[in-house]
Structure 1
Amino acid sequence: MFKNERNQVRAGWLILITFVTMFIAQQVFALPGVFALMVVDFSSLSTGSEAEVLNAFDRHPWVFLLSQGGGTIGGMLITVLLWKFMNKRTLKELGFRGPLKDLGFGLLLGALSIFIIFVLLYVTGNIELLNTFSTPEFSIYTITFLILFILVGFFEEMFFRGYVMSTMANRGNSRWLMYVVSAIIFSLAHGMNPNVSILGLVNIALVGVLFAYMFIATNSLWLPIGYHITWNYFQGNVFGFAVSGLSPHGIYNVSVEGGNDLLTGGAFGLEGGLLATLLIVLGYFATRFYAKNRKHT
């Protein structure tokens, strides 16, 4: 039950231990941000409601970064420590290998994917731009969320692709099983996000498969990390869509109220729409083309 035919602890138990430990570490490392919020905005928290807590964090972006960014760093730290001392592997074996041009292509592909979705929604009248292209609204959120999404991109790819898939590979699991398990865990981890939808969870699973393919095709985490960062950042902090249900603070601000929710994703954000499904599928072909030319070069 606990060990395979090679007398190794099964991959599922290692992943479960790491996931639970990582979750606890995230809560602990997020505490400084929670305490800071109590100092700067205690009166608004008197109701104790989850919505008011989220609104309070939203009003104080640096405190939000301290909490969410701290939790993310805690998760990264636990992933690295358990990978090194429990799995007895190196950071290179976790996926930090290969050329940094993979990171650059990932950043470009993620940004381009969101830009294409924005253009399609704009020209079809499914969104309304609330400020003009010539008047971008830069704010403190532009900086704090850039830092946060960089941390999130590194952390989620380190765990869901690097740790989960590499642990399964080291225990002899098939490639298709690695795809399925990493994608399902990735989707379920977003299941408690605000305004979550069935299509949103399906798309998150699909993009999880895409990230897994990027990882395997390049034998490196750099490409999925880059795509993950700009997919989130351009979605929420450039074009002003919700990111997996979280409130946006874009340089540009859009309204999706008059659009088709099947295309815009509604309150959950672009990840809850069919255009995201399309671009995720196209991302597979873009990755395949890049990986083939990368090997040839």
Structure 2
Amino acid sequence: MKDYIALAAKGDHEWWRYLVGAFLIFIIWQAGTIPFIGVVSYKLAMEGRDLSSLSNYETLMGTLDSNLTFFLMLLSFAIGFLGIWLIVKFFHNQKFKDVLTTRVKFDWKRVLLGFSIVGFFIAVMTIIDFVLNPDDFLWNLKWDQFLILAAIGIIMVPIQTTFEEIYFRGYLMQGLGIVFRNRWLPLIATSVGFGLLHLGNPEVTKLGYVIMISYIGTGFLLGVMALMDEGLELSIGFHAGNNLITALLVTADWTAFQTESILIYTAEPSIGFDVLIPVLIIYPIYLLIMAKVYNWKNWKSRLFGKVELL
């Protein structure tokens, strides 16, 4: 099987290109927040409110209709997706497919499997929690708002999650692997970096830094998927399933996505050993399922081996 990281050697892969490219992609991505900030600023101005409140997360989330807020938040990732395509194609002269997979064609069946595994688990666990603890939830289903949410989510959430997968498990993982000629350092760096990306999330403010175990652990899970499967299809599907099903099923006033979901979690959150259960138990089960389906072998060399350039 081809080495996914080594595919980057087919394009222009000097170390400085990845340094500059990663920075430019980030800037383009952040520029994508301008429409959101602009619309919120306009609304605040029309209401005669102080624009300095833009620095307040609750103001940003609560000024506009929740579906419009959801769309504008995700729009930045669509712009970031365009940015990463431009950088890969014109700055690195690399085929965009080569930042996605070693396979001849992008494997949509793998995407569906990754999506289904996590989507089914989240749906089942949410239903069980709702049945056992109904007082912790508010039934929020309003069909007119939910259908708009579903339309936005089905289109925009996969763009958001695919951008993040290509940026971290694709572009940065390939770049670090090419520069340092190994697979373990890109796995660690991109997983920790992915976790740190979520430091600004309201969940961290509410639950504390211990929640970073979950974010970084998820980064490792997605990174292992990419390296063992020599492509991003499984991680793209998994990430999309996690974010989309969660956004549709349940939200809370302290989560990054505050949507017109079916349920609103109203209980005061607490966190303890349960943050370790997904990372130490559920995630390994996911990997074992995928390893069985796709006959993964040579774990040591695929996760810790050297990168031999093409």
Worse-matched range after superposition: 147-156 or 79-88: 79-88
Higher relative contact order, chain-length normalized (CA < 8 Å, sep 6+):
2
Aligned residue in 1 for 2:301: none
CA drift of 1:219 comes to 2.1
Q: What CA distance in whole angstroms lies between the structure 1 residues aligned with 2:289 and 2:124?
A: 14
Contact 1:239/1:251, CA 8 A, preserved across alignment: yes
Which amino acid is the alignment partner of residue 191 of structure 2? A
| Runs of 5+ unmatched residues, structure 2 | 1-12, 297-310
For 1:130, what is the secondary structure of its paired residue?
strand
Contact 1:194/1:246, CA 8 A, preserved across alignment: no
Contact 1:238/1:252, CA 8 A, preserved across alignment: yes
| Runs of 5+ unmatched residues, structure 1 | 1-7, 265-272
Aligned residue in 1 for 2:202: 194
Q: How many residues align?
A: 272
Q: What CA distance in whole angstroms lies between the structure 2 residues aligned with 1:167 and 1:242?
A: 38
Distance 1:52 1:243, change over 3 A: closer
State yes or no: 1:53 paired with 2:63: no
Contact 2:141/2:260, CA 8 A, preserved across alignment: no
- Counterpart of 1:290 (choices 284, 288, 293) is 293
Aligned residue in 2 for 1:93: 98
For 2:94, what is the secondary structure of its paired residue?
coil
CA drift of 1:158 comes to 1.0
The runs of 4+ residues in structure 1 deviating greater than 4 Å are: 241-244
Aligned residue in 2 for 1:4: none
Q: Deviation string for 1:89-142 (max 9, x for gaps)? A: 1112101544210011011012023234425544664972322xxx84442333
Q: What CA distance in whole angstroms lies between the structure 2 residues aligned with 1:25 and 1:68?
A: 14
Aligned residue in 1 for 2:271: 261
Q: What CA distance in whole angstroms lies between the structure 1 residues aligned with 2:135 and 2:94?
A: 47
- Counterpart of 1:69 (choices 69, 74, 82) is 74
CA drift of 1:60 comes to 4.7
**C-alpha RMSD over aligned residues:** 3.0
Aligned residue in 1 for 2:118: 110
For 1:89, what is the secondary structure of its paired residue?
coil
For 2:81, what is the secondary structure of its paired residue?
helix
Q: What CA distance in whole angstroms lies between the structure 2 residues aligned with 1:111 and 1:276?
A: 14
Q: What CA distance in whole angstroms lies between the structure 2 residues aligned with 1:205 and 1:280?
A: 12
Identity, % of aligned positions: 19
Distance 1:237 1:45, change over 3 A: farther
For 2:32, what is the secondary structure of its paired residue?
helix
Q: What CA distance in whole angstroms lies between the structure 2 residues aligned with 1:145 and 1:241?
A: 17
For 1:22, what is the secondary structure of its paired residue?
helix
Q: Deviation string for 1:54-75 (max 9, x for gaps)? A: 2114x2522541x323311221
Q: What CA distance in whole angstroms lies between the structure 2 residues aligned with 1:243 and 1:32?
A: 23
Aligned residue in 1 for 2:226: 215
Q: What CA distance in whole angstroms lies between the structure 2 residues aligned with 1:217 and 1:243?
A: 35
1:163-202 counterparts in 2 under 5 A? 163-196=171-204, 197-202=208-213
Normalising by structure 1, report the TM-score. Answer: 0.78
CA drift of 1:143 comes to 2.8
Worse-matched range after superposition: 35-44 or 218-227: 35-44
Normalising by structure 2, report the TM-score. Answer: 0.75
Q: What CA distance in whole angstroms lies between the structure 1 residues aligned with 2:235 and 2:62?
A: 31
Q: Deviation string for 1:228-280 (max 9, x for gaps)? A: 111012223213357964434322233332x653377xxxxxxxx34433322
Contact 2:66/2:260, CA 8 A, preserved across alignment: no
Q: What CA distance in whole angstroms lies between the structure 1 residues aligned with 2:122 and 2:49?
A: 35
